[in-house]
A and B are shown apart, each in its own frame.
Chain A
Amino acid sequence: MDLNAKIPDGPIEGKWDRHRFEMKLVNPANKRKYNIIVVGTGLAGASAAASLAELGYNVDCFCFQDSPRRAHSIAAQGGINAAKNYQNDGDSIYRLFYDTVKGGDFRAREANVYRLAQISVNIIDQCVAQGVPFAREYGGLLSNRSFGGAQVSRTFYARGQTGQQLLLGAYQALERQIGAGKVKMYARHEMLDLVVIDGVARGIITRDLVTGETRGWVGDAVVLATGGYGNVFYLSTNAKGSNVTATYRAYKRGAGFGNPCFTQIHPTCIPVSGDYQSKLTLMSESLRNDGRVWVPKQKGDTRRPEQIPEDERDYYLERRYPSFGNLVPRDVASRAAKAVCDEGRGVGPSKMAVYLDFADAVRRLGQNVVADRYGNLFEMYERITGEDPYKTPMRIFPAVHYTMGGLWVDYNLMSTVPGLHVLGEANFSDHGANRLGASALMQGLADGYFIIPYTIGNYLAQAKLPKITVEHPEVQRCLAGVRAQTTRLLGIKGRTTVDEFHRELGLVMWDYCGMGRTAEGLKIALQKIPEIRARFWSDVAVPGANEELNPWLEKAGRVADFLEFGELMCLDALERNESCGGHFREEYQTPDGEALRDDANYSYAAVWEYTGEGSAPRLNKEPLEFKNVKLATRSYA
Chain B
Amino acid sequence: MSKTMTLTLQIWRQRSANTPGSMQTYKLEGVNEHMSFLEMLDVLNAKLTKDGQDPVAFDHDCREGICGSCSMVIDGRPHGPRKGTTACQLHMRTYKDGDTITIEPWRAKAFPVIKDLVVDRSSFDRIVAAGGFVSVNTGVTVDANATPIGKKNADEAMDYAACIGCGACVAACPNAAAMLFTGAKVGHLVKLPQGQVERRGRVLRMVEQMDHEGFGACTNHRECSEACPKEISFDAIELLNREYMRAQVTND
Chain B residues in 8 Å Cβ range of A135? 154, 158
CB neighbors of A among B93-148 (8 A): 93, 114-115, 118, 120-122, 124-125, 128-130, 132-145, 147-148
Q: Scoring A residues 497 to 508 as 1 if CB is less than 8 Å from chain B, else 0, what string do you get?
A: 101100000000
**Distance between B117 CB and nearest chain A CB, rounded to angstroms:** 11
Interface residues of A in 480-535 (CB under 8 A from B): 495, 497, 499-500
Residues of chain B in range 23-37 having any CB-CB distance to chain A below 8 Å: 32-36
Known contacts A69-B165, A543-B49; decide if A385 and B34 are in contact (CB<8 Å): yes
CB distance from B121 to the nearest CB of A (A): 6
Instruction: Say yes or no for A3: interface residue by CB 8 A criterion.
Output: no
| A68 is an interface residue with CB less than 8 A from chain B | yes
B22 to chain A, nearest CB (A): 17
Residues in A48-72 with C-beta less than 8 Å from chain B: 50-51, 54, 65-70, 72
Among A90-98, A138-146, A318-326, A566-574, the stretch in contact with B: A138-146
A125 near B2 (CB under 8 angstroms)?
no
Contact B64 A140 (CB under 8 A): no
- Kindly state whether residue B9 has any CB partner on chain A within 8 Å: no
Tell me what chain B mostly uses at the interface: helix, strand, loop, or mixed. loop
A159 partner residues in chain B, CB cutoff 8 A: 158, 162
Contact with B along A120-133 (1 / 0, CB 8 A): 00101111111101
Bound complex: CA of A541 vs CA of B89, how far in Å?
A: 28
Tell me whether B60 is interfacial, beta carbon within 8 Å: yes
The docked-state distance in angstroms from the alpha carbon of A129 to that of B68 is: 25
Instruction: Enumerate chain B residues within 8 angstroms of A386, measured Cβ to Cβ.
Output: 33-34, 91, 93
Q: For the complex formed, measure the closest distance between the CB of B42 and the CB atoms of chain A, giving whole angstroms.
A: 6
Nearest Cβ distance between residue B179 and chain A, in whole angstroms? 19
A172-B133 in contact given A67-B121, A125-B141, A133-B161 (Cβ < 8 Å):
yes
Binds B, one of A174-182, A403-411, A423-431: A174-182
Taking a contact as CB atoms under 8 Å apart, the answer to whether A274 and B2 are in contact is: yes
B122–A187 touching, CB < 8 Å: yes
Question: Once the chains bind, are A125 and B49 in contact (CB under 8 Å)?
Answer: no
Given known pairs A74-B62, A133-B157, the reply for A125 and B142 (CB within 8 Å) is yes
Contact: A175 with B42, CB < 8 Å? no
Query: Residues 203-240 of chain B: 1 if any A CB is under 8 Å from the residue's CB, otherwise 0?
Result: 00000000000000000000000000000000000000
B75: CB under 8 A from chain A? no
Q: Which of A138, A210, A384, A543 contacts B54 (CB 8 A)?
A: A543
Cβ contacts under 8 Å, A179 to chain B: 129-130
Q: What size tier do the contact residues of chain A reach?
A: 35 or more
Given known A-B contacts A54-B138, A449-B138, A136 and B149 have beta carbons under 8 A apart:
yes
Q: Which residues from chain B contact A499 at a C-beta distance below 8 Å?
A: 42, 46
The one of A128, A137, A278, A384 that contacts B91, using a Cβ cutoff of 8 Å = A384
Given A67-B125, A172-B128, are A549 and B118 neighbors across the interface (CB < 8 Å)? yes
Decide if A164 is an interface residue (CB 8 Å cutoff): yes
User: Are B158 and A140 closer than 8 Å at their CB atoms?
Assistant: no
Q: How far is the CB of A307 from chain B (nearest CB, A)?
A: 18
Q: Is the CB of A65 within 8 A of B55?
A: no
A388 on the interface (CB 8 Å rule)?
no
Contacts A158-B158, A165-B161, A497-B50 given; indicate if A241 touches B134 (C-beta within 8 A).
Answer: no
**Complex: how many Å from CA A50 to CA B129?**
12
Sample of 11 further A-B pairs with CB below 8 A, known A70-B67, A128-B194, A384-B89:
A50-B138, A136-B151, A175-B129, A178-B125, A210-B114, A240-B63, A273-B34, A278-B63, A384-B36, A543-B48, A548-B15
7 A-B Cβ contacts within 8 A? A75-B67, A84-B144, A127-B144, A239-B62, A240-B63, A277-B39, A549-B118
